[in-house]
A and B are shown apart, each in its own frame.
Chain A
């Protein structure tokens, strides 16, 4: 019953919305353009504070708060609801992420990194689906609310993936020594096809960097563009039966993104980081 009321409300809202904009004016990719709010330029580096940086700072603060609140503060032998959630997150980070990817001798070293990156990406992804007043636009002096995820910016996810990439090779060299580590990249094959295999294996190490970053970035970007386009349709389409579809579709995509994509992407990033680092520390042969 509640769902039906919500659906009716969405359809009515889509029908009464003013059909003001034309298709040429509406471009959902405008939402992802970054403007420098506090310009900081160091030499050739642009370290300005923009929308993504604000979201990242907010995400970092919230991650710390969440970690302290759920897993550090007032813990008891008989867990309450707050502590149960904390234990659930910790349990997923330990059993599903760390213990499947990392060898047992490296868990105490790299569990904190994997758990942190999981919680951080989860919080930043989830922040992307809350309407927050950081669009940088005002409407009659009231800040305009909008949805935006810092992880839908490839520079953010590439930095996270580069961290995993560097840690992988540093740990591989530290645990195995450079010669044994780089030799472990090359599989046991007949000598004749080595010139074919070696470039592919070296390339595949760098493809991890791309696949890790693009997976998260494109997921969040596509999700946001879909939702924004579906919402934008109600301002563009003028004929009535089609106007009613945009907002319910946006709602369905929103629920899908929040319930599934946000969690899965955070989990996958952490799990793959653990697997990559683990496989560098203990190569198969």
Chain B
């Protein structure tokens, strides 16, 4: 109990709150980026495989690939925006 009370008292300190917010923001972006990284890797891997199998489809696939890339990449930025909102509002 004593430790908890100590933590609760120290949270009122501005630097601790700032550090906590920074950690939260960084964790949010980092965790979001991990998922999107796997997704983007999957997209480009599939693109390489399909072009290796059917090179003549390259042009058609390229538009789809960039669409998928941008849709996946945007997920990181939703996380980033959430982190930013948390950082600014709390």
Would B77 and A222 count as touching, CB distance under 8 A? Answer: yes
User: Can you list 5 A-B pairs, Cβ within 8 angstroms, ordered by A?
Assistant: A100-B63, A214-B77, A214-B81, A215-B70, A218-B78
- Answer whether A215 and B77 are a contact pair too, CB < 8 Å, given A265-B70, A268-B70: yes
Interface assignment of B67: CB less than 8 Å from any CB of chain A: yes
Chain B 48-88 interface 0/1 with A at a Cβ cutoff of 8 Å (1 = within): 00000000000000010011011101100110110000000
Which chain A residues (6-54) contact chain B, with CB distance < 8 Å?
A: none
Interface assignment of A267: CB less than 8 Å from any CB of chain B: yes
How many residues does chain B have at the interface if contact means C-beta atoms less than 8 Å apart? 12
Main secondary structure of the interface of B (DSSP, over half): helix
Q: Known pairs A218-B80, A264-B66; list 15 more (Cβ under 8 Å).
A: A96-B63, A100-B63, A211-B74, A214-B77, A214-B78, A214-B81, A215-B70, A215-B74, A218-B74, A219-B74, A222-B77, A222-B80, A267-B66, A268-B67, A271-B63
The distance in angstroms between the C-alpha atoms of A211 and B72, with both chains bound, is 12
The distance in angstroms between the C-alpha atoms of A48 and B26, with both chains bound, is 35
Across the interface, which residues of B come within 8 angstroms of A265, CB to CB?
70
Name the residue of chain B whose CB is nearest to the CB of A223. B77
**Top 5 nearest A-B pairs by Cβ distance?**
A218-B77, A268-B70, A215-B74, A96-B63, A218-B81
Name the residue of chain B whose CB is nearest to the CB of A220. B77
The distance in angstroms between the C-alpha atoms of A273 and B81, with both chains bound, is 22
Across the interface, which residues of B come within 8 angstroms of A218, CB to CB?
74, 77-78, 80-81
Chain A 79-115 interface 0/1 with B at a Cβ cutoff of 8 Å (1 = within): 0000000000000000010001000000000000000
Contact pick for B70, options A96, A100, A222, A264, CB 8 Å: A264
How many residues does chain A have at the interface if contact means C-beta atoms less than 8 Å apart? 13
Residues of A within 8 A of B (CB): 96, 100, 211, 214-215, 218-219, 222, 264-265, 267-268, 271
The distance in angstroms between the C-alpha atoms of A100 and B80, with both chains bound, is 30
Tally inter-chain residue pairs, CB-CB below 8 A. 32
Would B63 and A219 count as touching, CB distance under 8 A? Answer: no
The distance in angstroms between the C-alpha atoms of A100 and B63, with both chains bound, is 9
The distance in angstroms between the C-alpha atoms of A271 and B74, with both chains bound, is 15
In the complex, how many angstroms separate the beta carbon of B80 from the nearest chain A beta carbon? 5
Across the interface, which residues of B come within 8 angstroms of A100, CB to CB?
63
Across the interface, which residues of A come within 8 angstroms of B63, CB to CB?
96, 100, 271
In the complex, how many angstroms separate the beta carbon of A218 from the nearest chain B beta carbon? 3
The distance in angstroms between the C-alpha atoms of A18 and B69, with both chains bound, is 40
The distance in angstroms between the C-alpha atoms of A211 and B71, with both chains bound, is 9
In the complex, how many angstroms separate the beta carbon of B89 from the nearest chain A beta carbon? 14
The distance in angstroms between the C-alpha atoms of A10 and B63, with both chains bound, is 36
Across the interface, which residues of A come within 8 angstroms of B74, CB to CB?
211, 214-215, 218-219
Across the interface, which residues of B come within 8 angstroms of A267, CB to CB?
66, 70
The distance in angstroms between the C-alpha atoms of A264 and B72, with both chains bound, is 12
Name the residue of chain A whose CB is nearest to the CB of B70. A268
Across the interface, which residues of A come within 8 angstroms of B69, CB to CB?
264
The distance in angstroms between the C-alpha atoms of A218 and B70, with both chains bound, is 12
The distance in angstroms between the C-alpha atoms of A264 and B66, with both chains bound, is 7
Name the residue of chain B whose CB is nearest to the CB of A211. B74
The distance in angstroms between the C-alpha atoms of A214 and B80, with both chains bound, is 11
Name the residue of chain B whose CB is nearest to the CB of A92. B63
Q: Which of B70, B71, B78, B80 has the most chain A CB atoms closer than 10 A to its own CB?
A: B70
Across the interface, which residues of B come within 8 angstroms of A96, CB to CB?
63
Across the interface, which residues of B come within 8 angstroms of A264, CB to CB?
66, 69-70
In the complex, how many angstroms separate the beta carbon of B84 from the nearest chain A beta carbon? 8
